[in-house]
Amino acid sequence: MADESLAALHLWGLMFQGWTRAELGQVDEGVAMMEEDASLWRGEDAVSGRKEAAANS
C-alpha cells in the first residue's frame, strides 16, 4: 500500500511540476510534462484503483 501511495504522490508531483513550468513561461515544456504524466496516470493501476476494485469483486 505504501508503494502505491508513493507512486500516486510522484505522479501528482510531475503534474504540478509541468503546470508550474507552463505558468512560468515554459509552456511547451510544461505541457509536454503534463501530457507525459497523464499517460502515466492511465497506465498506473495503483493510482486508478483498478487493482483494488478487481480484488474486491
Amino acid identity of residue 56, one-letter, is: N
The pLDDT, as a whole number, for residue 17 is 93
Give the per-residue pLDDT at 43: 75
Find out whether 14 and 41 touch, Cβ atoms under 8 Å: no
pTM: 0.60
- Residue 45: per-residue pLDDT: 52
Per-residue pLDDT of 1-57, as tens digits, reads 556 677 777 788 888 999 999 999 999 999 999 988 888 877 755 445 544 544 544
SS in 3 state form for 1-57? CHHHHHHHHHHHHHHHHHHHHHHCCCHHHHHHHHHHHHHHHHHCHHHHCHHHHHHHC
